[in-house]
Amino acid sequence: MSEERFSGIPLLGEAFPELEVNTTHGKMKLPEEYKGEWFVLFSHPADFTPVCTTEFVAFAKRNDDFEALDTKLIGLSIDQVFSHIKWVEWIKDNLGVDIPFPVIADDMGNVARALGMVHPGKGTNTVRAVFIVDPDGNLRLMIYYPQEVGRQVDEILRALKALQISDKYKVALPENWPNNGLIGEKVIIPPAGDVKTAEERKTEAEGYDWWFRFKELDS
């Protein structure tokens, strides 16, 4: 890894680091465990903390939505596995929510360091990182939140679906798709790479100019 790179922070489009992890569902190898599927790995600062608990409940309640997109969830924090197990039990007993996905016990911090989850300016626990990995094991999206700000699971689902649609239809997705203020649920056609294609785009697709053309998803 280049010295010019931020230590431990992977880059979009790179292969997700090969990691052996201990989880509440047993030992796993990433990304091999989810080969052929998408997966979302998300870190939380610590077990038995209020914001993290609200996030785990939200992820659990939307687990079927991720499954519908052929995507698995996996959590992580720098805690031992028995702490994870007890916390998962607490959530079920006190909040009535089953946590269906595994949680990585990164008590040595090796995974957190490999993925740039520990930011010295925010303490020694992991920040709230999110990594979306595609079926080929490539990192496609990452988001970092500070410990004091909880994530929005709907946004992670939206971004995941947008990535899958972009791959399938070779289009780009606008701000807040499918509820964009300019073009609604329409998708953006990649800009033309030559004069001839630019002229053709003016008649083949709706848009504001040759470089800003869009269409219905199924057209």
The residue type of 185 is E
Active site residue 52: yes
Return d(Cα 113, Cα 119) in angstroms, integer.
Answer: 9
Q: Give the residues across from 128 on adjacent strands.
A: 145
Return d(Cα 187, Cα 40) in angstroms, integer.
Answer: 24
Return d(Cα 27, Cα 151) in angstroms, integer.
Answer: 27
Is the previous residue joined to 178 through a cis bond, with omega within 30 degrees of 0? yes
Is the previous residue joined to 31 through a cis bond, with omega within 30 degrees of 0? yes
> Which one of the listed residues 52, 78, 159, 183 is annotated catalytic?
52
The residue type of 79 is D
Tokens in use for 195? 């004069």
Cα–Cα–Cα angle for 73, 145, 91, rounded to 5 degrees: 50
Tokens in use for 43? 């870190």
Contact 160, 63 (CB under 8 A): no
Hey, which residues are catalytic here?
Answer: 52
